[in-house]
Chain A
Amino acid sequence: MTTASSAAAPLVAGTLIAEQASAQIATRTHQPVDLKLEVNGRRHRLAIDVRTSLLDALREHLAFTGTKKGCDLGQCGACTVLVGGRRVLSCLTLAVATRGPVTTIEGLTGSDDRLHPMQQAFIDHDAFQCGYCTPGQIMSAIGCVTEGHAESDADIREYMSGNLCRCAAYPNIVDAIKQAKPQMQEG
């Protein structure tokens, strides 16, 4: 937000100029852009502010509120979704920059209401408490298995370390991933 010229100008005036500039930019970028996004097998067309994160696009514009906003800083993992099968922090991804189909927690359950093996494993192992980090944990866990990073307990702990759980259900999450891994590979 600070401009190069503000270094020479009085600070207050500099801030004022920067804020006015930012207000003008804000007004200008409020003009929505057209966007196509494939989420959970369905194509959506959106007209949104170009600065909208994938997380906000999912939550605020497409009502996929299963993906959670934990820190909005790319540091807690609660917003993890799959894009083209790879784990992505949706709070750090611009919606317009999303390349590939998006899978969220809502997209895991089949039309027959059958749970994904990872979801079932999280139930079987009580791998959650408050549930807020859980959608991100599950998406990340699926990524962890498909990347081939679930070969040992230590491996799982390492490759799941980007998903924080303040309730600390970590031991059960590791157990759940171990249960789901062979089932995912069969499926």
Chain B
Amino acid sequence: MTAPLARIDGGVNTSVRHDSARGHLTGQALYVDDVPAPAGTLDAALVLSPHAHARIVSIDSSRALAYPGVVAVVTADDIPGKNDIAPIRTDEPALAQGVVLHEGQAVAAVAATSVAAARAAAKLVDVAYEPLPPVLSVEEALAREDYVCPPIAITRGDLDAGFAASAHRLTGEVSCGGQEHFYLEGQVAIATPGDSGDMHVLSSTQHPTEVQRGVAHLLGVPFAAVTSEVRRMGGAFGGKESQATSFAGIAALLAWKTKKPVKLRLPRDDDMRVTGKRHPFLIRWDVGCDPEGKILALDMILASESGHVADQTPAVLTRALCHADNCYWLPNVRLRGYPCRTNTVSNTAFRGFGGPQGMFGIEAVVDMIARTLKIPTDMVRAKNYYGVGQNDVTPYLMRVEDNLIDRVMEELDRAADLKAWRAAVDAFNAKSPVLKKGLATMPVKFGISFNKPTLNQAGALVHVYTDGSVLLSHGGTEMGQGLFIKVAQVVAETFQVDIGHVRLAATSTGKVPNTSPTAASSGSDLNGMAARDAALQIKARMGEVAAEHFGVEPSDIVFKANRVYAGNRSLSFAELAHMSWDKRVSLSAAGFYKTPKIHWDFATNTGRPFFYFTYGAAAAEVAIDTLTGETRVLRAELIEDCGRSLNPAIDLGQIEGAFVQGMGWLTCEELVWDEKGRLRTVGPSTYKIPGSRDVPPVFRARILEDAPNREDTIFHSKAVGEPPLMLAISVWLAIRDAVASLGPKGAVPQLDAPATPERVLMACEAMRAEEPGR
């Protein structure tokens, strides 16, 4: 019998269930807070600044220390190493030193024998402050030219010539709000001291290596003395990329101080006060175009509200600038990014990482051009799309080689019949004076790879045991996105064993070192490749053993469906594993991967930062009540390019989930800070994330078929975590469309995001005022 046609269970391109499905449904899947704590574990609580900006005059811990059950109180002065946990620069203390720069900044931490004691004692730490004036708005920071890192610019072509050739010149301004991650599992860490100064940290983090580095810095120990581990997170969305480090670090500091395990889990309202969010952006533009709406010159500034320190801001801003073109060829362009410093939380990574804000900006520009020129938006877009073989170079000088823009838009039209849809919306509006509908589409081109080339590397560690079972470790982290099952599918496919034989180990810096964060949608691209590399090394060695056993060349050996074949003779995978051990052949390998082709010049902001682009398109229909501003999304049709999807069921979940999350960012999720810089929306009752009723009643997501990645990615799949979030910009554009139906043709709605009922109502009032005779 030769190798059969049979397929293994759970290979690539199949909708295998999430590896933890049963665990999640039975309550057996353990998150950090569920892990039984070692005996004697102390609980920690934070002392937070009540001021947005103040000098710390003194800290007196004596009353807190006297509280029953309290074991230790630490401040910045107790840190034996370096008080810095910055992911990119070196300006971010774990505990405030001398000055507090935002309301909710951690000033001290308490360890006690119970959570209640720790939290009660935290209120007894007496901190004397001398309040200083805070900067609370991006406009103010922009005017003061106060930045958390140097501004960034991307320029190409001749702006003056472009404007001179333009028939129309338009200026505008729009802003989009921040977004709280609201991962259901809050920030949490357990630090356990080990032998000879070692520290083990269980942390809900997307970036175990950064936790390791942060803890080592704080404790003044070598990185090798710290092990950071995470099995799974209850959601993260970017909010545990850099933000998890301070909590792990403070837990470790208290563990070091008390020589006991310490657990730090934030109450939800503190979690929301302390941690950074999506960057709000203020965007202003000056655009020139020809009579058909073709953009000839664009001068745009993108000012991010970065918070009090740099954190991820340089990278977020770079990605925003690299996506301010979206799908459009901009021959003469200047994009300037200003990382404004404000006395607020340190804004950080959030699904899309600046990409959504950049695209939001250019779509506002395109919408303005289309409305002003009274040309349908999709027609203006078509005039500006990147070409194939011409007009295909981005402002940062990367050639768009895999253009699928027309294809996704055509597929969207085929699925949704946009012309008939538009006619139905217009017919409704003609008869409905108060309720108005809006319809808009949204094309998305999103670059895949970290902008910083260094981060595009990954490691994996694969063991095969003598019973043929496989243990897989890699540097990526599982936060619900299905990374673990996808990488397990890759390993199962490579070894040709059923997925049930592949076990998944928690992510640990002790197994795979020097990892990148699981971010930038790159998890399966990077870790899948690294795991495949490890599996291929072992498979090659096992193949040699099989060849020797059967007396054939290694090239004659075929691994297929749990067996290993040489012509009509075969062994089970497990038999070969045992035989390899018997012959003293290593069944363990470390795999490695670095993304090819990419490069970036930080001095000129040019290069090829992305291995490839992923594409998508959406159409959304909304209804607004023009007397109350209330909005409903009635229907959304999505199409997303996943290359040859590793797991279509997982990818569809990502597409739907990202869209709804994007909808939240642009509609109902509003962060409110008061005049003193205090966040007033510190729970889900005041900060509204989309609920079950907010999902469009008609909601269809599709994966673009027959579209394998032209680049050599893992089984020619494409990344999917972030890109569909930007499809939700269609919802914001549809609301604008509904508002515009109130005014004369040619009027442009003034509507910032989030498009809350209040903002929609104001935009309706402004639009009605444009109607002549009013």
The stretch of B231-239, B389-397, B747-755 that contacts the partner chain: B231-239
Q: Is B657 an interface residue (CB 8 A)?
A: yes
Q: With A23-B67, A166-B689 as known contacts, state yes or no: A68 contacts B661, CB within 8 Å.
A: no
| B 152-183 binary contact with A (CB < 8 Å = 1; else 0) | 00000000000000000000000000000111
A161 touching B693, Cβ below 8 Å: yes
A131 touching B268, Cβ below 8 Å: no
A154 touching B697, Cβ below 8 Å: yes
Residue in A closest to B701 when the chains form the complex, CB atoms: A171
- In this complex, which of A67, A115, A168 has the most chain B Cβ atoms within 10 angstroms of its Cβ? A168
| A 85-108 binary contact with B (CB < 8 Å = 1; else 0) | 000000000000000000011101
The stretch of B214-222, B477-485, B588-596 that contacts the partner chain: B477-485
* Bound Cα distance A168, B696 (Å): 12
The residue from A23, A128, A134 contacting B120, defined by CB atoms under 8 A apart: A23
* Bound Cα distance A126, B18 (Å): 8
Q: With A73-B268, A164-B689 as known contacts, state yes or no: A132 contacts B184, CB within 8 Å.
A: yes
Q: With A71-B683, A130-B184 as known contacts, state yes or no: A105 contacts B27, CB within 8 Å.
A: yes
* Chain B positions within 8 Å of A109 at CB level: 26
A65 touching B30, Cβ below 8 Å: yes
| B 27-59 binary contact with A (CB < 8 Å = 1; else 0) | 111110110100000000000000000000000
B502 to A: closest C-beta gap in Å:
19
Q: Is A133 an interface residue (CB 8 A)?
A: yes
Residue in A closest to B682 when the chains form the complex, CB atoms: A73
The residue from A105, A153, A160, A164 contacting B684, defined by CB atoms under 8 A apart: A164
* Chain B positions within 8 Å of A129 at CB level: 18, 235, 480-482, 653-654, 657
* Bound Cα distance A171, B17 (Å): 17
Q: Is A167 an interface residue (CB 8 A)?
A: yes
B479 to A: closest C-beta gap in Å:
6
Range class of the A interface residue count: 35 or more
* Chain A positions within 8 Å of B235 at CB level: 129-130, 132, 166-167
* Chain B positions within 8 Å of A70 at CB level: 184-186, 268
* Bound Cα distance A23, B660 (Å): 45
B693 touching A158, Cβ below 8 Å: yes
Residue in B closest to A163 when the chains form the complex, CB atoms: B692
B692 touching A106, Cβ below 8 Å: no
Q: Is A111 an interface residue (CB 8 A)?
A: no
Q: With A65-B33, A70-B268 as known contacts, state yes or no: A131 contacts B120, CB within 8 Å.
A: no
* Bound Cα distance A7, B132 (Å): 28
B653 touching A167, Cβ below 8 Å: yes
* Chain A positions within 8 Å of B67 at CB level: 23
Q: Is A157 an interface residue (CB 8 A)?
A: yes
Q: Is A69 an interface residue (CB 8 A)?
A: yes
* Bound Cα distance A30, B690 (Å): 40
Q: With A115-B25, A132-B185 as known contacts, state yes or no: A166 contacts B661, CB within 8 Å.
A: yes
B267 touching A130, Cβ below 8 Å: no
A108 touching B26, Cβ below 8 Å: yes
Q: Is A78 an interface residue (CB 8 A)?
A: yes
B653 touching A73, Cβ below 8 Å: no
* Bound Cα distance A80, B297 (Å): 55
Q: Is B68 an interface residue (CB 8 A)?
A: yes
The residue from B22, B120, B184, B659 contacting A164, defined by CB atoms under 8 A apart: B184
A1 to B: closest C-beta gap in Å:
10
Q: Is B124 an interface residue (CB 8 A)?
A: yes
Q: Is A46 an interface residue (CB 8 A)?
A: no
* Chain B positions within 8 Å of A169 at CB level: 653, 656-657
Q: With A27-B68, A67-B27, A73-B269 as known contacts, state yes or no: A174 contacts B692, CB within 8 Å.
A: yes
Residue in A closest to B180 when the chains form the complex, CB atoms: A166
Q: Is B773 an interface residue (CB 8 A)?
A: no
Range class of the B interface residue count: 35 or more
A133 touching B661, Cβ below 8 Å: no
B695 touching A131, Cβ below 8 Å: no
* Bound Cα distance A110, B701 (Å): 36
Q: With A67-B27, A166-B184 as known contacts, state yes or no: A75 contacts B683, CB within 8 Å.
A: yes
Interface set, chain A 161-184, CB cutoff 8 A to B: 161, 163-174
* Chain B positions within 8 Å of A13 at CB level: none
* Bound Cα distance A76, B268 (Å): 11
B559 to A: closest C-beta gap in Å:
30
* Bound Cα distance A119, B649 (Å): 18
B638 to A: closest C-beta gap in Å:
12
* Chain A positions within 8 Å of B267 at CB level: 72
- In this complex, which of B21, B26, B36, B232 has the most chain A Cβ atoms within 10 angstroms of its Cβ? B26
Q: Is B427 an interface residue (CB 8 A)?
A: no
* Bound Cα distance A168, B184 (Å): 11
A123 touching B27, Cβ below 8 Å: no
B683 touching A68, Cβ below 8 Å: no
A130 touching B22, Cβ below 8 Å: no
B532 to A: closest C-beta gap in Å:
24
Residue in B closest to A67 when the chains form the complex, CB atoms: B27
| B 170-207 binary contact with A (CB < 8 Å = 1; else 0) | 00000000000111111000000000000000000000
B233 touching A130, Cβ below 8 Å: yes
* Bound Cα distance A132, B116 (Å): 24
B36 touching A63, Cβ below 8 Å: yes
The residue from B185, B479, B652, B684 contacting A68, defined by CB atoms under 8 A apart: B185
B231 to A: closest C-beta gap in Å:
12
B409 to A: closest C-beta gap in Å:
24
* Bound Cα distance A172, B30 (Å): 23
* Chain A positions within 8 Å of B186 at CB level: 70
A21 to B: closest C-beta gap in Å:
12
A16 to B: closest C-beta gap in Å:
9
| B 1-30 binary contact with A (CB < 8 Å = 1; else 0) | 000000000000000011011111111111
* Bound Cα distance A126, B657 (Å): 12
* Chain B positions within 8 Å of A146 at CB level: none
Q: Is A135 an interface residue (CB 8 A)?
A: yes
- In this complex, which of B25, B649, B661 has the most chain A Cβ atoms within 10 angstroms of its Cβ? B25
* Bound Cα distance A95, B653 (Å): 37
Q: With A69-B33, A119-B26, A131-B234 as known contacts, state yes or no: A164 contacts B21, CB within 8 Å.
A: no
Q: List 6 A-B contacts (CB under 8 A).
A: A26-B116, A65-B30, A73-B685, A75-B683, A105-B27, A128-B25
Shortest beta-carbon contacts, A-B, top 10: A66-B27, A130-B480, A132-B234, A131-B24, A168-B660, A105-B27, A65-B34, A129-B480, A132-B184, A168-B657
A-contacting residues of B (Cβ < 8 Å)?
17-18, 20-31, 33-34, 36, 67-68, 116-117, 120, 123-124, 181-186, 232-237, 267-269, 479-482, 649-650, 652-654, 656-657, 659-661, 683-685, 689-693, 695, 697, 699
Having A30-B68, A126-B649, one finds 14 other A-B pairs with CB under 8 Å, namely A19-B124, A27-B68, A65-B34, A66-B27, A128-B24, A130-B236, A131-B24, A131-B234, A132-B31, A135-B27, A156-B692, A164-B184, A166-B235, A170-B690
